[in-house]
Chain A
């Protein structure tokens, strides 16, 4: 297990993820270090950090990763095949290159039928 770098398209520097660490967690943990050293570090928007809100949506252009559970309201199955993920749910398994990807419009409110699953 080694650390992996994450490059963000059109941004200087890298985010260095420790083994098992998500992109967002690594970025937040090292933000202060980056400030002290003056080295650039890419920024990804930080929301809930748990795969629910969608603000940190990115497209992985290159590299291998493991994905934690994330909301399909923001990343559909088709999106997943195209490499779209939420950066807070991505654990790199190699060096990664990603592009910031604005979230999709959220689908309409869940219907009553969905809510009462056993009716």
Chain B
């Protein structure tokens, strides 16, 4: 089955307390490229290996956290179809006109049962500094800092993740790649719309709309090591790592941006196909599922969110 409908995570908009510190973090350290600053002060960024206009938006605010995560769909016709399907599923759909962000077409949006806003769009401009297309070199300019190749996925915390699961499966055709099932119900779900082990994930949490992390893909385990060196050299706040997840099998470091939003650099992870069974973790091996080498959760993983 080809990837159709919802293609991939498109962009994420995060609130930051100090824009200058945030730009230093995301551009100089993580290695994203600056695209533009909007008239309202929002800063648009993209990773070196992404074709589209932007994938990360920083908005200065007096509190940290997630504004919205958006997914790209294959066509404008798909966008209309998803608007109908989301409404039929039972969520209110709103419309954001073309041009609300530079380079971006119209979007549809809704608020999930977990309290998070997601959006879908089909049209976005090709970036100026996109990966080469004709006789392509491996990169247009040598990657910088941690050399993040793309905005990869996000993990969000909120209530009613059972309903989120049904919504993503029934309205958006996502698959459940992996889950943590405790005696009192679902604790966490890893959802994919592609061949990646996850494109978005949720952990059950009392407060709605909370943000756990935005992940950026690195090419290798060696790059994870290089990222760790940079984090210590530049005194970046590390949560945990370098380590590995049992869930998704990704190699990872969790760390925080200068506003306390958690980031992840992520390498590896298995290929997912829609006919794969859902992998299941229970309370007996939960620690190994989250942190494969430590075999236990750190307190911060379950409690610290923005």
Contacts and interface: CB of A to CB of B under 8 A. Distances in A.
A118 B300 CA distance: 35
Given A50-B257, A52-B261, A109 B304 contact: no
A115 B68 CA distance: 8
Contacts of A73: 63-65
A119 interface: yes
A49 to B, nearest CB: 4
Interface in A100-119: 105-110, 112, 114-119
A108 B208 contact: yes
Given A112-B109, A118-B38, A51 B209 contact: no
Interface in A29-52: 46-52
Contacts of A50: 64, 237, 256-260
Contact of A109 (B209, B237, B300): B209
B262 A48 contact: yes
Given A52-B259, A53-B305, A117-B41, 15 more contacts: A48-B239, A49-B237, A50-B64, A52-B63, A52-B260, A52-B306, A71-B259, A73-B64, A74-B63, A105-B207, A110-B65, A117-B42, A117-B59, A118-B38, A119-B100
Nearest to B255: A48
A100 B59 CA distance: 31
By secondary structure, the A interface counts as loop
* Residue in A53, A55, A105, A114 with the greatest tally of chain B CB atoms within 10 Å: A53
Interface of B: 13, 15, 17-18, 38-42, 59, 61-65, 67-68, 94, 96, 100, 109, 111, 115-117, 207-210, 237, 239, 256-262, 300, 303-306
Interface of A: 46-53, 55, 69-74, 105-110, 112, 114-119
Contacts of B42: 117
A108 to B, nearest CB: 7
B116 A109 contact: yes
Contact of B15 (A55, A106, A110): A110
B207 A47 contact: no
B15 to A, nearest CB: 7
Given A71-B17, A71-B259, A71-B260, A47 B300 contact: yes
B119 to A, nearest CB: 10
* Residue in A48, A73, A108 with the greatest tally of chain B CB atoms within 10 Å: A48
A48 B237 contact: yes
* Residue in A49, A107, A109, A110 with the greatest tally of chain B CB atoms within 10 Å: A109
Given A71-B64, A108-B208, A52 B115 contact: no
A71 B39 contact: no
Given A52-B64, A55-B303, A109 B256 contact: no
A71 B100 CA distance: 26
B237 A116 contact: no
Nearest to B68: A115
Those 5 A-B pairs whose CB atoms lie nearest each other, nearest first = A52-B260, A109-B209, A48-B260, A52-B64, A118-B40
A108 B209 contact: yes
9 contacts: A48-B262, A51-B260, A52-B17, A52-B63, A52-B256, A74-B63, A109-B115, A114-B67, A118-B39
A89 B13 CA distance: 24
B37 to A, nearest CB: 12
Contacts of A109: 111, 115-117, 208-209
B99 to A, nearest CB: 10
Nearest to A74: B63
A15 B208 CA distance: 35
